[in-house]
Structure 1
Amino acid sequence: MTGPVTIASIVEGDGEVSALPVLLRRIAGALSCWDVRIPPPRRVPRSRLVARGGVENAVLQASYQLTGAGGILLLIDSDDDCPATLGPELLRRAREARGDREISVVLACREFEAWFLAAAESLSGHRGLADPLLPPPNPEGIRGAKEWLSARSPTARGTGRPWTRRHWPRSSTWSRPVRRRRPSTSSGVTSNGCCWAAEHLGR
């Protein structure tokens, strides 16, 4: 009998500390995977992560949360950096620190909150948001995703509303790899949402 799959994670912002575990559990639930352990993410400022020795130390610390099957997920915003350049570099450095563990680097296009804009329809009428609430044409091109939501509800504070598959964000950096459950690259680097989590939870 195998133990739970542990997903240790590293994030850059306070919002992701609380939001990412919820997101990963919703992916697990949508894939009917219940034996999943998701410890609280480690928050490390982006400037420290990309600095010399930063991602290496963060990965080393996160690896202590792993007790069996699973791996480490690093999620940061791409901001103005090119994911195809920054992602492989961070992965290379992370693997130098813990090459014996499965590691994935996920770069959200622009910012993590853009995924909530892509899923805006699933939030319609919830916690004061407009109903209907349609996603913007290009969610990942918007600067200030949190401000976009706030402008549509002064009382919005996030949501605990569960997603089903039909509620998954309609975003180019989310829907394709998650629905496929397998990443399109063997390197472990992606700018396409949480495909690593979907891959391991979908086994």
Structure 2
Amino acid sequence: MTAQRVTIASVVEGEGELTALPVVLRRMMSDMMIWDADIQRPFLTNRSKLVKRGGLEAAVESLARRLPPTAPGGILVVIDADDDCPASLGPELLQRAQAVRPDRRTAVVLANREFEAWFLAAAPSLAGRAGLPAGIPVPDDSERPRDCKGWLSHHRNDGGSYRPRVDQPALAAAFDLSMARYNAPSFDKFCRDVNYLVTGKRE
């Protein structure tokens, strides 16, 4: 798709995302027929620190130094929305990120309400992973539950509990991206923002 190597640097708030987010990004690069992408290890920081003025700016400035000056790609910030409204907090964070480094493509995605909500949005595709059985339907509103981790624990049939650091990367490798995009608007935004970082174009 592009002759230059795509580089994506990211910011996350959870230890599970340190390995899960790169898995999702590499899958997307494959779908876009990009075979030589540099998906860097995410920068892990506390959510409260990130949302506080100065925290996001410092993270973006640090990541911007890792990016080649002219290569496609950019900076991707992925945090949980929790009880915040993505439609208000997301644009605010994006404006702050762009203000500190307007020379870099930047995207901010708030998973509504949690990163794991994207797994719920593609629940039927997770059979056999992380103790989940076949036949689990997509919840009526996959982005509404406040405790998606608890939902995943409840639906296991092996007596175990959901462990983000262990299970999140495995589910990231298995969940149906198209199904999640259809059922979870925040994941659809994530996909559109990744496309923007790679191509410079908004869908």
Which band: TM-score by shorter chain? 0.7 to 0.9
Task: Report what 1:193 is aligned to.
Answer: 190
State whether structure 2 residue 18 is matched by structure 1 residue 17.
yes
Q: Percent identity?
A: 44
Q: Deviation digits for residues 79-105 of structure 1, max 9, x if unmatched?
A: 121222211211111112111101111
When the two structures are superposed, what TM-score results if normalisation uses the length of structure 2?
Answer: 0.82
Task: Measure how far apart 1:171 and its partner are.
Answer: 2.1
Q: 5+ residue gaps in structure 2?
A: none
Distance 1:201 1:131 in 2: 35
Q: Which residue of 1 is the match for residue 134 of structure 2?
A: 131
Deviation string for 1:94-138 (max 9, x for gaps)? 112111101111111111110011111111133431111212111
Task: Decide whether the 8 Å contact of 1:7 with 1:70 is kept in 2.
Answer: yes
Q: Where do residues 1-203 of structure 1 align in structure 2 (5 Å cutoff)?
A: 2-67=3-68, 68-153=71-156, 154-155=159-160, 157-158=167-168, 159=170, 161-162=173-174, 167-174=179-186, 177=188, 192-201=189-198
Contact 1:125 1:132 in 2 (8 A): no
Q: Is the 8 A contact 2:81 2:111 kept in 1?
A: yes
Unaligned stretches of 5+ residues in structure 1: 178-191
Number of equivalent positions: 188
TM-aligned CA distance change 1:126 to 1:85, over 3 Å? closer
* Cα separation, 1, equivalents of 2:180 and 2:96: 31
Instruction: Give the TM-score, by structure 1 length.
Output: 0.82
